[in-house]
Amino acid sequence: MGVRCDFPGLVTPDGKRWHYLDTAATAQKPQAVINAMSRALGEDYATVHRGVYARSADMTVAYEAARKRTAEFLGAKSENEIVFVRGATEGINLVAHSWGLANLKAGDRIMLSQLEHHSNIVPWQMVAERVGAEIDVCPLTEDGLIDLDWLEANLTEQHAIVALAHVSNVLGSVLGAKRAAKAAHAVGAKLLLDGCQSAPRMRLNMAELDCDFFVFSGHKIYGPTGIGVLWAREELLDAMPPYQGGGSMIDKVTFEQTTYAPPPQRFEAGTPMITEAIALHAAIDYTTQFGMESLYAHENGLVRQAREVLSQINSIRLFGPESSAGILSFTMEGVHPHDLGTILDEENVAIRAGHHCCQPLMDYLGVPATARASFGLYSDESDIDALLRGIERTQRIFG
Ligand code: PMP
């Protein structure tokens, strides 16, 4: 998209082009986000919500404007549906511990899928163990999509929640979210979507997706670390008990009894991530200026090209569907993904190698790890060329 110059992180220390193919782990930051963060930490800095002085009132306006912008980005009904959390991981933990502990009981079932990130598995296991609920795992189709035929056939009225990745961080596969929502709601279950990999590359509208909970992380959408978003239907948030206690989340505190603030404040105990929220606002403005549909098409096109090029190499095994959202996993016969990653690094190509926090998916694929190339709005064909050159060099080294 010709925007590399907006990203100071995309050059090597000696001024060369850095072929950054690890955007699914974390995205590089545009100067607009760095500037917003720097201003918020510098000349604009003050706390929010409590100050009686003008700077604090201005900061509160900026912090709440970030919430409003996030609501708009998600097509939410109201900014009251936006809870700022530390990241997607905290968002899922919040839902599992607040909604989960209040609503799940012994004998209930939780439906996950084979491709979930550990952060959409472990919180549910922790809560299931406490209440005596059981976890079911939806299998994948041959090309790595969550198998919705299986899901529809196997959801029962015992299922209280279905929690699925909107886009897989390993395979790039895109969930048929509306169909999953319909299937979940047909048995009276809630649907949580892990939107970590969809928020940076897909147009989102909560009403259209028809989910009940949606989480994403700021750092994957070109914003800072330390901020994420939990969206939930207002009536669900209203009925949920607090996740953490402390300042800012209360209505009235006495030693005898404490009453709580309404959402979203009820779920934002302590001094919030003020500067991070303001920088997230800048990140959403920056990212959406290109049109989310265009971003999806751009990255989908790059994955197609990468698949085409890599499929010519006999020793390479590709995973995931033909059409995916900006993420491609592969293995190379006789070469551990970590060795490949190290050689590529010498060529200024950064990929991810490992289990990508998806050990159950690795077991299912029958590999200990994969190499993963993931694209962002700043990626282009030259990154694929560099990847190919590095792979060819690896082939020569390993004979
Ligand atoms: N879910 C998915 C699909 C992810 O890709 C990630 C990050 N790799 C997470 C959840 C967790 O996000 P975070 O570490 O930012 O909380």
Domain boundaries, the chain: 4-21+291-398, 33-288
Calculate how far, in angstroms, residue 89's C-alpha sits from the geometric centre of ligand 1: 6
265-309 pLDDT, tens digit per residue, is: 999 999 999 999 999 999 999 999 999 999 999 999 999 999 999
Catalytic residues: 357
Fold type of domain 33-288: Aspartate Aminotransferase; domain 2 (3.40.640)
Question: From atom 8 of ligand 1, which residue's Cα is the shortest distance away?
Answer: 25
Alpha carbon of 236 to ligand 1 centroid (Å): 23
107-163 per-position pLDDT tens digit? 999 999 999 999 999 999 999 999 999 999 999 999 999 999 999 999 999 999 999
Reported ipTM: the value is 0.99
Q: Domain spanning 4-21+291-398: which superfamily?
A: Aspartate Aminotransferase, domain 1 (3.90.1150.10)
Would you state the pLDDT for residue 51?
74
* Helices 292-310 and 274-288: angle between axes, nearest 10 degrees: 80
Measured from CB, residues less than 6 Å from any atom of ligand 1 are: 25, 87-89, 117, 119-120, 165, 169, 194, 196-197, 217, 357
The yes-or-no answer to whether 4-21+291-398 and 33-288 have a common fold is no
Residues near 341 by beta carbon (within 8 Å), at least 6 away in sequence: 351, 352, 353, 371
Read off the pLDDT of each residue in 242-257 and give the average, rounded to a whole number: 96
The string over 188-220, giving b where at least 16 C-beta atoms fall within 10 Å of a residue's C-beta and e elsewhere, is ebbbbbbbbbbbbbbebebeebbbbbbbbbbbb
- Asked if residue 371 has pLDDT above 80, the reply is yes
* Mean pLDDT, residues 67-84 taken together: 98
Has residue 2 got a pLDDT over 80?
Answer: no
pLDDT for 9 equals: 97
Rounded distance from Cα 79 to ligand 1 centre (Å): 23
Nearest CA to ligand 1 atom 6: 196
